[in-house]
Structure 1
Amino acid sequence: MPYNRRTFLQTLAMAGAAIPLRSFAFAANDWEIHGFSKPFQFKWMDFGMLCQTFAAAGLQGVDYTVRPEGHVTPERVAEDLPKAVAAAKNAGISAKLMTTAIQDASDPATEAVLRAAAKEGIQYYRMGWYDYEKGKPLQESIRKRAGQLKALGELNKKLNIKAAYQNHSGLRMGAAVWDLYEMIKDADPAWTGVQYDIRHATVEGAASWPLGLQLISPHINTIVIKDVRWKLEKGKYVLENVPLGEGMVDFKAYFKKIKELGLKAPISLHLEYPLLNQQETLLPDPQKQQIVQAKLKKDVDTLKGWLAAM
């Protein structure tokens, strides 16, 4: 009998070691890397310059902020989002991701934003974060938010767009990841998932993050990449966002775990550290663009190197 892909999988199954198809390794160029637009909300940088900068740095797409004080505000989504998406297409990159403040399907602004996004071909949106309700048991807040996530999933299915709740650091829901799992475990993963952020997971669980990642992995639909380190400032340790590879995130271990779990999802690359110093802000716009583009390209190249080594 010829030994082909079918017989290979049959052999694995008979041995009791069948592996999900998504667990096979992916080439670095198979990963879609999108730039988070928030750090680039400069008054001198319009949609066109933003997308040209992202394309020149080697990104495949843009993750637009579509929220109050974002690149596109909810009240102008119908007018401005088509322009933002058109700028991406003109630069040769995609606009599949957006970051919003959406929390509840019953909010009048929610459907308007999602409908406009779906019309423009956006496939994923990051939600706003939930807070625990003061004076109430934690479990009660989790049950309430789980209901909100399920309702959003129904709206997402109707509009053909997917939600992603980001794990954050701090006291908001989802920081511990285990509470995020309890919130989202009964939601349809086809329409409501998780945007996994290894930076925040490292802050919250320096050594235990692999457990949370494994727990939540079936629900992950997008991934955030950024780096951070602790810094002693005036006698107190504070978090400092830094370029990739200069912080405490163990990306080697992270991508090893990602490979083991067979995860592959669109990546949103965040540059949360300062892109221009005070003197550089006084330079002509083309020079400022070159400075931020160089910093972006450095992170893009670093990330692509890690992906290639997986």
Structure 2
Amino acid sequence: MPYNRRDFIQTIAMAGAALPFSSFKLRKDWEIHAFSKPFQWMDYQLLCETFAAAGLDGVDYTVRPEGHVLPERVTTDLPKAAKAARDAGLKTTLMTTAILEAEGADTLLKTAADQGVKYYRMGWYDYIKGKSIQESIRVRSQQLKELAKLNSQLNIQAAYQNHAGLKVGASVWDLYAMIKDVDPKYAGVQYDIRHATVEGANSWPLGLELIREHINTLVIKDCKWVNNTLQNVPLGEGMVNFKAFFQKVKEYNIHVPITLHLEYELLSKAQEALPVKEKQQIVLGKLKKDVQVLKGMLAGI
């Protein structure tokens, strides 16, 4: 019987962070990473210790300007970051980059592949000024094909996120037009149900059906409208219909790595001034709760 999302959230809220990870027996071996962006104040070791304590399987490192790993230091720092993950029993299947084209990306991608990264999120393409939307999509599709060719040499896959806004891919229909003729073994979609909900509150299932065969990773996060402003919230407390989404995931037999995003406030201004270990415990409690909520959702599929 499918879980009732609201009842489940209430159960989690009462149980708190102490709820044991063994409470939920997943039917599939889902690999759950977390996005490192909100935790960039932590060094690699502390980050990985925190993620392991939360019951995660891996780290989705930001390997981009102002990220956890800077592109210009990737050959030195990414191996250190990956080792910290391995030492904590975590994987580095995923990473997040700003890569848009093959030119200049080979060193970063080779280093990542050597460290066990299988999928990397790209940056987002702009529509090209002076060109029609259709022509922009053709140009971007060609860029993506060239990137997929490089990926084939390194045995790594690009993942393009459907991100709300005005860039290519905010509309899943445009994302499909761009990616439909690109080799799916080396470039796919990082499907984000939160952004899909924002852009297509009622129509997102159509976009998901259209793009489903190209999905190689999933982003899980939540949000809601507050006084006409979009606000990120803990998992299950917003407007994303996870019950309907995961029913579709099951129906389409989508079984890919997941990256969990915590983009709501993890520390207040006052808490940011606390010692590092105290801050770690605060964010660990919130991370544990989101991990448990997600595992509860996945237990039903």
Say which SS state the counterpart of residue 224 (structure 2) adopts: strand
- Tell me, yes or no, if structure 1 residue 239 matches structure 2 residue 239: no
Corresponding residue of 1:70: 67
Name which of 247, 269, 287 aligns with 1:296.
287
Contact 2:26 2:295 in 1 (8 A): no
Contact 1:28 1:304 in 2 (8 A): no
Name which of 63, 83, 86 aligns with 1:86.
83
- Tell me, yes or no, if structure 1 residue 194 matches structure 2 residue 193: no
Runs of 4+ in 1 over 2 A off after TM superposition: 26-29
Give the drift of 1:222.
0.3
Cα distance in 1, alignment partners of residues 269 and 115 from structure 2: 37
Cα distance in 1, alignment partners of residues 182 and 203 from structure 2: 25
Cα distance in 1, alignment partners of residues 65 and 175 from structure 2: 24
- Tell me, yes or no, if structure 1 residue 118 matches structure 2 residue 113: yes
Name which of 95, 105, 128 aligns with 1:133.
128
Higher-Rg structure is 1
Corresponding residue of 1:269: 260
Cα distance in 2, alignment partners of residues 33 and 182 from structure 1: 29
Cα distance in 2, alignment partners of residues 201 and 131 from structure 1: 18
Name which of 195, 201, 204 aligns with 2:199.
204
**Change beyond 3 A, Cα 1:288–1:104:** same
Give the drift of 1:29.
5.4
Corresponding residue of 1:7: none
- Tell me, yes or no, if structure 1 residue 309 matches structure 2 residue 300: yes
Alignment gaps of 5+ in structure 2: 1-24
Corresponding residue of 1:17: none
Cα distance in 1, alignment partners of residues 117 and 193 from structure 2: 24
Write out per-residue CA displacement over residues 227-254 of structure 1, whole angstroms, 9 at most, x where no aligned residue: 000110xxxx111000001100000000
Give the drift of 1:28.
4.4
Superposition TM-score, scaled by structure 1 size: 0.88
* Percentage identity across paired residues of the two chains: 65
Q: Identify which of structures 1 and 2 has the higher relative contact order when contacts are C-alpha pairs closer than 8 Å and 6+ apart.
A: 2
Give the drift of 1:27.
3.5
Cα distance in 1, alignment partners of residues 196 and 38 from structure 2: 21
Corresponding residue of 1:255: 246
What is the CA RMSD across the aligned residues, in angstroms? Answer: 1.0
Superposition TM-score, scaled by structure 2 size: 0.91
Aligned residues between the structures: 277
Say which SS state the counterpart of residue 95 (structure 1) adopts: coil
Alignment gaps of 5+ in structure 1: 1-25
Write out per-residue CA displacement over residues 191-244 of structure 1, whole angstroms, 9 at most, x where no aligned residue: 100000000000000000000001000000000000000110xxxx11100000
Contact 1:244 1:303 in 2 (8 A): yes
